[in-house]
Amino acid sequence: MGLKIAVLVIMVSIAMSGSTANASHEGLIHSPCGVETGYIHMTVAEVDDQVKDRIADGIVDADSINRNSVDIIVSGTPHDLLISAGVIQEYAVNRFDQVLRYDDPFWGGVVNTSSKFTEWETGCYGLTYMLSDAEDDGYPRVVTRKLLGERYVQGSPNKYHFDLDVAVEFLQLGGSISGLDNVWNFNG
């Protein structure tokens, strides 16, 4: 009995142990552009064969596929094939730690009215959305609260703590960040 338990413990230990040298990040969800894309899981020829099969089966309209002069598809490939091939990152994590599909309308939203960067560009290129951008956008509640939480860290010693939702309302009604800074730094 003791030998069986020892063997079981060894087998479980081997099965559960990970190797960081060979660790695969497959299945993890990254920020936009946080993972390599391209024809990683399928070749261009394999994708082309599947497109031809779908055309033959009546699933894909041949007129929706555009090819260049050397018969390589340049547009119209079904998205599920591009995802399977690794060309499209299907899911990404946004700046609010939400997991969204690549075609979610959220990604096309403009983060900053002055720069015109989309949410995808912001996540992809590490662009930042700051309180001054929130001010330009009328202090949207969710993002402004998050930004205020980063600026006024609750639990910080020797600071006057205030409700962040009240602070958002204060800003939306015309208050200023410097006014919040004054309250935050009040040691009375």
| Sequence ranges of the domains in the chain | 130-188
Q: What is the pLDDT of residue 101?
A: 94
In this predicted structure, the answer to whether residue 18 has a pLDDT above a threshold of 50 is no
Decide: helix, strand or coil at residue 59: coil
Q: Contact 78/54 with Cβ under 8 angstroms?
A: yes
- Say whether pLDDT at 188 is over 90: no
Q: Is the pLDDT of residue 25 over 70?
A: no
Identify which of 95, 89, 99 has the alpha carbon closest to the alpha carbon of residue 122.
95
pLDDT above 90: residue 133: no
Average pLDDT over residues 140-162: 86
**Do the Cβ atoms of 112 and 136 come closer than 8 Å?**
yes
**134: burial class by Cβ within 10 Å (0-12, 13-18, 19+)?**
buried
**What average pLDDT score do residues 134-157 get?**
86
Q: Are 89 and 75 in contact (CB under 8 A)?
A: no
Question: What pLDDT sits at residue 1?
Answer: 61
Q: Which residue has the tokens 């639990």?
A: 155
Summarize the confidence of residues 98-115 as an average pLDDT. Answer: 84
The predicted structure's pLDDT at residue 2: 59
Q: How far apart are CA 91 and CA 106, in angstroms?
A: 12
In this prediction, residue 122 carries a pLDDT of 81
Residue 117 has pLDDT above 90, yes or no: no
- Give the residue among 156, 32, 40 at the shortest CA–CA distance from 94: 32
CA 73-74-80 angle, 5° bins: 75
Phi, psi of 92 (to 5 degrees): -145, 160
Q: Write out pLDDT tens, residues 40-93.
A: 999 999 999 999 999 999 999 999 999 999 888 989 999 999 999 999 999 998
- At 13 the pLDDT is 47
pTM exceeds 0.75 for this model? no
Is the model's pLDDT at 36 over the cut of 50? yes
Q: Would the pLDDT of 164 be above 90?
A: yes
Give DSSP secondary structure letters for 79-108. HHHHHHHTSS--EEE-TTS-EEETT-GGGG
Quote the CA–CA distance of 186 and 176 in Å, as a whole number: 16
Q: What is the pLDDT of residue 21?
A: 34
